[in-house]
Amino acid sequence: RGTRSRKRNVFCHPMQPCSVESVRVGAIIEEALEKLSFLASITPDIVAHRDELSQTVGDEITRILAQQRTLESRYEELVGQRLALKAMSNKRYKENQDEVRTVARALRESTNELCRNLKGNPNIAENLSKVQVERSGLHALLARTLRELHDGSFASLTSAVEEEAARTSNIAEIMEREKEAAFAVGQLKADLAAERRGHDEDVEKRDEEIARLKEQLSEAKASTSVEVRYLAQTVRASCQTLRRLSSAETANLEEEIATLRKELEIEERAHRESEDFLRRKQSALQQDVEAWMGRYETELEELDRELEGLKASWRQSRS
């Protein structure tokens, strides 16, 4: 093997393959061109069935939508019955609640299935067209390479490789930015959910505190009323003193309730402002993602036009 390598280095130029290597490479490229031509010859059969495939996918999505409409109608019917069943037996009301949960779960599963179908079944005709365009481009590139192999020049192949490498690098960069933007959107959603949970917990604590204070107020009023009735029979002065004390305690409790309500309103306003900010931030990031996608499509079209211009220039130079 070492002897053959040394002989090859002696008789061959570094940028030009030997005649034996040229024959081998040419045979491989010709075989690849024959296979691509064979694939191109059977492509019409695939294209002829694309409408049938699209129809199959459309029928499945139509079935899921019809199922969703049925479940939604049943859910509305059960919710309407629930109000009437509250005044009846607990058994029928419980059965209604169980069926509502079952229908809601089935509706969620149907929605998830619809999302999976829409995501997993893109435009079949468009995909077939893209495959055909890519195959034609590869066929043309291999044909040019074969001609340049016979001529001993690889300018077109080198240019195509460099352009494809630049295009791949640009696409990878755009995809990385899109990934970062999607991660940021997900993080904002998580922050929004955490903020909402914190707000719900705060509201629940405030409600419990208000209920406790109301209970204390009720107990204080009841206790005061009993004491007033008891002491009214003995000394009017003592009764008036107790009433003043009761009124003061009631005023303090009501003032505390009013303070808590004001704090609750402040918390709710702060939560709404935080939620609006996070929602605007999410919308801005979503617009950035769409802008990057538009830029990606624009740059891809410009690269395609540049490639077509290079091809045209090359054909003119050849002619």
**Cβ 253 vs Cβ 220: under 8 Å:** yes
Q: Render pLDDT for 239-295 as a digit per residue (tens, 0 to 9).
A: 667 778 888 888 889 999 999 999 989 988 988 898 888 888 888 888 888 888 888
Rounded to whole angstroms, how far apart are CA atoms 65 and 156? 52
In sequence order, what are the residues at sequence separation of 6 or more whose Cβ sits closer than 8 angstroms to the Cβ of residue 100? 75, 78, 79, 82
Closest CA to 159 of 273, 310, 4: 310
Rounded to whole angstroms, how far apart are CA atoms 52 and 125? 11
Q: Render pLDDT for 129-184 as a digit per residue (tens, 0 to 9).
A: 666 666 676 677 677 777 766 666 666 667 777 777 887 888 888 888 888 888 88
Burial of 177 (0-12, 13-18, 19+ CB in 10 A): middle
pTM of the model: 0.30
Q: Output the CA–CA distances (angstroms, integers) from residue 95 to 84, 86, 101, 174, in the order listed.
A: 13, 12, 10, 53
Helices (H), 49-154: 50-85, 90-120, 124-151
- Domain limits, the chain: 19-154
**Cβ 75 vs Cβ 107: under 8 Å:** yes
Rounded to whole angstroms, how far apart are CA atoms 56 and 50? 10
